[in-house]
Amino acid sequence: MRLTRGADYGARGIMHLAAQPPETVVLVKDIASAEGLPESYLSKIFQELAKDGLVRSHRGAKGGFSLARPAEEITLRQVIEAIEGPIALNRCLSPTEGCEFGDTCPMRPVLAEAQAQMETLLRQRRSIKAGEEDDFNVRADGTSARELRIE
């Protein structure tokens, strides 16, 4: 599975908000500038994140975005699915698509297991507290993996 740029940018943008003091409102242009992301695309992504209740949009002179709930309650899976929809390693595992081979496909059980493990990991990991020791620093086998930290 390969994340889209939208999911990548959304995760980076929401992690930027999480690094601010609680309830801080930040302009999209400031997030885009700080993270090196295209402002117009990030603005569209943040609208999707707002629809899913991950960020709150603030209008007016002091407008911008803030986290809609505490950072500790937002997972990487929620961010990805807000932008990309349900995670599916293959169309046979998608809730909206199907496969003509159905349950007779020998690959389906393996893909289903891989997807379940990935969903569990993404649900357990708090996406936006990047840099904390217990967030992206453990590989599936339990060994330390500092290089997995999202920054």
Give domain status of residue 131, yes or no.
yes
Shared domain for 60 and 102, answered yes or no, is: no
In terms of residue numbers, what domain contains 41? 5-67
Number of domains composing the chain: 2
Give domain status of residue 133, yes or no.
yes
pLDDT tens for residues 73-111?
Answer: 898 889 999 999 888 888 888 877 877 887 788 888 888
pLDDT tens for residues 14-32?
Answer: 999 999 998 999 999 999 9
What residues contact residue 117 under an 8 Å CB cut-off, 6+ apart? 140
- Which SS3 state, helix, strand or coil, does residue 17 take? helix
88: tokens are 């599916």
Compute the residue count for the chain.
151
How far, in Å, are 58, 63, 114, 115, 125 from residue 140 at the CA level?
Answer: 39, 40, 12, 14, 12
Residue 59 phi/psi, 5° resolution?
Answer: -95, 165
Give domain status of residue 25, yes or no.
yes
Average pLDDT over residues 59-81: 90
